[in-house]
Structure 1
């Protein structure tokens, strides 16, 4: 008993509520699930052999890896120059561009998937436009294809790649590039030798986040792809829905988790190793003539060094003639990426005001009929109210538990803090479908499948991780001498926390609460597994309508959800929460 009291009074004891929820809903179930996949206590590989022996399963597995690699590669190719241009912009323009990237990031991925259904469908925007111009005689097969899957997944994952890159690039000292230029390096050489190596941690974080998220994608491939474009998450969800063979389902989930673990272990290597910049020594087998040529070249370089110095001094304050073209190209690239990120949402908003019986762009008549259909249909409003109730409960629970955990982690030893942080952040670093399967297995043993409490606990294990990340970033800039000053004036620990600590970290706490609410309100994969077809949240209602029928009411619902990120950003601004560079770097590093 005394040991428990001491543990409760120590900083590490503040993490016990978060760890308890995590272990009950995710930790112990995934351990039992792992043992189940090996048919414990017999311990055999029969389930894994059965999965890999079926050609269809092997094809889906390889297809999942292929799609994830392609999407991740394209996100790097687009996201790196975009992040570089955002970093190079002026402070005011940089903030505007970041907000425009964050808005689609906070928008429901189900809404963004629906936007591409509207654009790529047989009666969608592109086909309607081409048919109207007389360029085609029949609709093109744009949707239910691999290309549609790539378009939708890249659209969702691109902000996840850009934000960690911007966070790291903003921390790079720009004087290093100027120093390289002053030593005679050309712009590309300075970028390649100085800026690129320093930005590799951001590339690594983006690669890990995007690839792991892509491995667990379920909604977007199922909505935009055809039967030949199924991902392993779709296969796992079908196994859960069609049978109760948890051993085979567990084997499928851990094969997916194993792929993610291999990639994380590979990308987790230190990419910022300092390497020698000097040339390797010449081999003795080379001819003496080559040695003489190098000596002559070095002598000529020494003679030309004063000329190069004068030329550099002459060009230092001279406007570059080609910089204008690079500026135009950069502006065009930024506009193109922003169009790709924001236009689908804009299309959905405009089409939601259509007065016809079907969605069309541009609308022939304007009407609010689909908004009235949403607010007048009890099935829609009931699902929305259920989502709000669950999200509020998740936000309250996660904010209290996550703030206590972050406060305790901030005051523990670095090694202990790193280990416990890794455990707490596991639910947001594992593929979503694996977390959902583990939560389903845990709640099944607790008898909470198909209950609101089960959904709240399932959402909370991920929401707590977001709160811990955000509050920890706020505590990183907290001056602990203020607490010491309060205690020196005989203030107790609780009074010090209420009067000194909490007011100073309140912006981070509010930001964590809002992100926890968003995480819960937008969740559909894990909810579909643990709801037991008894509870319908708004995302589940939307997903069912997207799969079964294209109800134009979904456009009105999607439009309302698109405006939610604007409300979150306004709320964060009013409460004084700022996504500082330190907060962004802690978030990306912790998530990866």
Structure 2
């Protein structure tokens, strides 16, 4: 009891387990990695100099930046109008569209990459269709090139762009647009002068997240690209597998990390989007000698007021001529984006029921042979059970540590909370390959390379971040007066926590556990470095088969992993629905 009272006075103590795991597996190793890169204790930049003196590595570095920028720009061009149209849709349609964006985001990136190998291959869906229509005589080279890599990268990161944009756009007061229209602004002017500036925080967040994720791409360039399409993550992984010296690897990892940190510094300095911060300097910097010109322009402006007023009253209540056409174009655009996001997964699901000796789309017949092959092959089932055991352990460990951390951070000072939240979210805001190398070094220190315990700890530093984000969002809407009311009725800290707090934030805890499970079950980059040669999880087994292209059973595995997020979303919805019914019942009892 005394310990709980002390924690109540110092709530950040609840975050100690989460920070301890983060420090041992990621914090200390990342410092060690930096010291290795500068040859401590002699401290030299010879490894960085050697990196930039090699033309091949410099070429790969600039190619990584180029590919990340292109993929980010494409995601923004597609994602912004998609998010805008989703927010403008009716509530029921908007909810459905957001769920449809969530499903591919929760689906394994490995499965989605595999789906594009099936669609773009020489005997894939597109080439077979074009050959069947006799539009081409030979298969087009759609796979193992830069275009295929861009298609896969954009497909994986597009939900990461859309979701922050939707979140910000939903918070914009739509009456501001109506006010601009009532003042005579055209729809385009109202959008660019009012709506777009207010949506910039979402643009910043989405752009930053997509770019950093693209920097760490490892599987997609390897599976969809050619030898000339390798990224720095592929170079680091290859060096780690073949070299006995960590110094060049550490230097390459920190160069990639430096790029990510620069982007975080540029885009992360101000995400408030408040316009007064930019308006004030503009007023202060106006030259005095332009006042006369300003008076002249004001005079000309007043002359045109009568004309604009008459024109405004004529057109104000008239419907826009192309509004129906715009709605059709918008609906078609959103439909195409949803097809782009969902169709590859659907192809894998349908193809997994193929009755032929090889995978084909559409299947010539229906059969469960590939599912029987999956459950009858010990190598697949062993990989599945290993992944399941690891994911369940990670979910339990990260949910406990992450919930305690979120609970403690929600009750600390705002500035300290922001700083600690940034620290705990570091593993998911940095390139995955950098986190993987740091975790590899941390597990070497503990002697846990190639063990399930090591993989669990490596996955936990990622999963805790998801749990903290989701539970903290739930606690932000939690009314702490309910806890005070329970304590006023002589309920102790433990009883208040068990009977009041935990039941009300249960949906957030379950959601955090689900995301932690998915993050662990689908993880492949970190696992490929820390698993050694003794453990093969299901994603690693899939990656081997994608590279070798020998076993069609992978379609059945991909189908199961594609349907898994749908089941999780249904479970989360049922949990939220039951929680809502309980709250409504409690409110009704209080009124009665």
For Structure 1 versus Structure 2, the TM-score category normalised by the shorter chain is: over 0.9
1:226 maps to 2:226: yes
1:297 maps to 2:332: no
- Superposed displacement of residue 123, structure 1: 1.1
What is the match of residue 433 of structure 1? 433
Give the unaligned 5+ runs of structure 2: 581-592
Cα 1:491/1:124, change in 2 over 3 Å: same
Cα 1:8/1:55, change in 2 over 3 Å: farther
The CA distance in 2 between the partners of 1:326 and 1:304, in whole Å, is 28
- Which whole-Å deviations, capped at 9, do the CAs of 1:476-524 have from their partners, x for residues lacking one? 0111111111112222211110011000000000000000000000000
What is the match of residue 115 of structure 1? 115
Q: Report the secondary structure of 1:576's partner residue.
A: helix
Q: Report the secondary structure of 2:449's partner residue.
A: coil
- Superposed displacement of residue 241, structure 1: 0.5
What is the match of residue 583 of structure 1? none
Q: Report the secondary structure of 1:244's partner residue.
A: coil
- Which whole-Å deviations, capped at 9, do the CAs of 1:515-562 have from their partners, x for residues lacking one? 000000000000011001111100000001111224211111101111
Asked if structure 2 preserves the Cα contact closer than 8 Å seen for 1:12 and 1:412, the reply is: yes
- Superposed displacement of residue 320, structure 1: 2.0
What is the match of residue 585 of structure 2? none
- Which whole-Å deviations, capped at 9, do the CAs of 1:355-411 have from their partners, x for residues lacking one? 111111111122111111111101101101110100000000000010000000011
Asked if structure 1 preserves the Cα contact closer than 8 Å seen for 2:507 and 2:579, the reply is: no
User: Which 10-residue stretch deviates more, 342-351 or 160-169?
Assistant: 342-351
Q: Report the secondary structure of 2:304's partner residue.
A: helix
What is the match of residue 241 of structure 1? 241
- Superposed displacement of residue 198, structure 1: 0.4
Cα 1:114/1:306, change in 2 over 3 Å: closer
What is the match of residue 513 of structure 2? 513
- Superposed displacement of residue 422, structure 1: 1.1
- Superposed displacement of residue 334, structure 1: 0.6
What is the match of residue 590 of structure 1? none
The CA distance in 2 between the partners of 1:463 and 1:164, in whole Å, is 20
1:351 maps to 2:347: no
Asked if structure 2 preserves the Cα contact closer than 8 Å seen for 1:545 and 1:551, the reply is: yes
The CA distance in 2 between the partners of 1:370 and 1:537, in whole Å, is 19
The CA distance in 2 between the partners of 1:381 and 1:243, in whole Å, is 32
Asked if structure 2 preserves the Cα contact closer than 8 Å seen for 1:142 and 1:148, the reply is: yes
Cα 1:4/1:32, change in 2 over 3 Å: farther
- Which whole-Å deviations, capped at 9, do the CAs of 1:120-151 have from their partners, x for residues lacking one? 11111111111222222221111000000000
Asked if structure 1 preserves the Cα contact closer than 8 Å seen for 2:122 and 2:143, the reply is: yes
What is the match of residue 464 of structure 1? 464
The CA distance in 2 between the partners of 1:578 and 1:146, in whole Å, is 48
What is the match of residue 562 of structure 1? 562
What is the match of residue 106 of structure 1? 106
What is the match of residue 279 of structure 2? 276
Q: What are the within-5 Å matches in structure 2 for residues 178-577 of structure 1? A: 178-270=178-270, 272=273, 273-274=275-276, 275-276=278-279, 284=289, 294=297, 297-312=300-315, 315-316=316-317, 318-576=318-576
Asked if structure 2 preserves the Cα contact closer than 8 Å seen for 1:217 and 1:231, the reply is: yes
- Superposed displacement of residue 276, structure 1: 3.4
Q: Report the secondary structure of 1:563's partner residue.
A: helix
What is the match of residue 41 of structure 1? 41
Asked if structure 1 preserves the Cα contact closer than 8 Å seen for 2:4 and 2:493, the reply is: no
**What TM-score comes out, normalization by structure 2 length?**
0.93
Moved over 4 A (4+): 2-9, 277-286, 290-293, 577-580
The CA distance in 2 between the partners of 1:432 and 1:131, in whole Å, is 39
RMSD: 2.2
The CA distance in 2 between the partners of 1:295 and 1:480, in whole Å, is 54
The CA distance in 2 between the partners of 1:341 and 1:309, in whole Å, is 42
What is the match of residue 92 of structure 1? 92
User: Which 10-residue stretch deviates more, 410-419 or 194-203?
Assistant: 410-419
- Superposed displacement of residue 329, structure 1: 0.8
The CA distance in 1 between the partners of 2:26 and 2:136, in whole Å, is 52
Cα 1:372/1:197, change in 2 over 3 Å: same
- Superposed displacement of residue 577, structure 1: 7.1
The CA distance in 2 between the partners of 1:292 and 1:162, in whole Å, is 44
The CA distance in 2 between the partners of 1:368 and 1:4, in whole Å, is 55
User: What count of residue pairs does the alignment treat as equivalent?
Assistant: 574
What is the match of residue 143 of structure 1? 143
Cα 1:458/1:383, change in 2 over 3 Å: same
Q: What are the within-5 Å matches in structure 2 for residues 20-59 of structure 1? A: 20-59=20-59
User: Which 10-residue stretch deviates more, 569-578 or 269-278?
Assistant: 269-278
Cα 1:577/1:249, change in 2 over 3 Å: farther
Cα 1:553/1:3, change in 2 over 3 Å: closer
Give the unaligned 5+ runs of structure 1: 581-592
What is the match of residue 74 of structure 1? 74
- Which whole-Å deviations, capped at 9, do the CAs of 1:174-202 have from their partners, x for residues lacking one? 00100111111110100001100100000
